[in-house]
Copies of this chain bind each other. A is one copy, B any other.
């Protein structure tokens, strides 16, 4: 009766008639193994169905062969986030090919967030972190540095960083969007900004103001926390103004969708009486009425690029910044020439 224990490297070595040290060299593609031995070893390994134990390997090499992603979200805003899912898909597509895994943590507040980072590195569960939702002066960068961890950021931190950054130019996308609105005849365009402690919220607002200035557009600013609730509330305030804007640009798509709902609720003719645009390139923008004009934002591309950069950093000890192709306008039905004089 053959006991079917999971085969170890010793089994492979015995079966191939070599030492286990040599098996290790051969299977990791290191030089200094004769072709004959290499073949025998590979044959034995596949025949036995051997796969190295990740934890034994990790113990010897002091690696975890996994990457960490910790996401802090209010339970209420999390669900609506169109970026997240496709991003993880992109991460996985490169991680899987490298035999590594993603350790995901969803935390409700900053304290638990910090504790989670500490735990993940002190328990040595991950080799590095993917840093999404960058804050304006993000404490996680200093934290991870002080813990001796590695990371890659999505966006380049204004406060400087010892880690590589993946970046995407939104400027040209915002430019295209505002030019699109200007060409349609809009002169007064509101910007519903997101949480300004987050870096991309500030960047998007600043760029909006610059471009609007150049195009001679008047800008009205509303500030929110990126949640649909506050997006809806901002919309109500804007629409009830005497100098009501003819178009509203939202810093993310969930707020834009909530803005569309408010428009319907108030009986506005969309997009004639009010044009609406988002910035996330979300898929859900295709299933609202009118379909949402937005900026394309390839989350899977972010996932692939950031993962590759982090793996490079971990394995080569060094990695360059990665610029993604610029975001571009996706013009759909929620923007049109204004039917009222502004």
Contact = CB atoms under 8 A, between A and B. Distances in A.
Interface of A: 6, 49, 51-56, 58-59, 64, 66, 73, 75-76, 78-82, 84-86, 88-89, 92, 96, 99, 101-108, 112, 116, 119-120, 122-125, 228-229, 231-232, 254, 257-258, 260-265, 282-284, 286-290, 300
A51 B122 contact: yes
Contact of A283 (B80, B112, B261, B290): B80
Given A76-B283, A99-B123, A254-B287, 11 more contacts: A53-B124, A55-B124, A66-B125, A75-B300, A80-B283, A96-B112, A101-B125, A102-B104, A102-B105, A257-B284, A257-B288
Contacts of A101: 103, 105, 120, 125
27 contacts: A49-B122, A51-B119, A51-B123, A53-B59, A54-B123, A55-B64, A56-B59, A66-B103, A75-B86, A75-B89, A75-B300, A76-B283, A78-B86, A80-B283, A84-B85, A85-B106, A92-B104, A92-B107, A96-B119, A228-B287, A231-B287, A257-B284, A261-B288, A261-B289, A263-B289, A265-B289, A265-B290
Contact of A257 (B54, B107, B287): B287
A278 to B, nearest CB: 13
Contacts of A231: 287
Contacts of A104: 88, 92, 102-104
> Considering residues A82, A84, A85, A232, which has the most beta carbons from chain B within 10 angstroms of its beta carbon?
A85
A287 B300 contact: no
A147 B243 CA distance: 67
A121 B274 CA distance: 54
Contact of A86 (B79, B120, B125, B258): B79
Contact of A79 (B51, B75, B82): B82
A104 to B, nearest CB: 4
For the complex of A and B, list the 5 residue pairs with the smallest distance between their C-beta atoms, beginning with the closest: A261-B289, A264-B289, A228-B287, A258-B287, A104-B104
- Among A56, A101, A300, which residue has the most Cβ atoms of chain B within 10 A? A101
A58 B59 CA distance: 10
A228 B103 contact: no
Contact of A284 (B79, B264, B286): B79
Contacts of A99: 119, 123
A78 B89 contact: yes
Contacts of A86: 75, 78-79
Nearest to A51: B122
A89 B102 contact: no
Centre residue among A75, A99, A123, A124 by max chain B CB count within 10 A: A123
A89 B108 contact: yes
Given A52-B123, A283-B79, A116 B103 contact: no
Given A59-B56, A287-B261, A288-B257, A89 B73 contact: yes
Nearest to A104: B104
Contacts of A107: 92
A169 B258 CA distance: 31
A85 B89 contact: no
A300 B50 CA distance: 38
A298 to B, nearest CB: 11
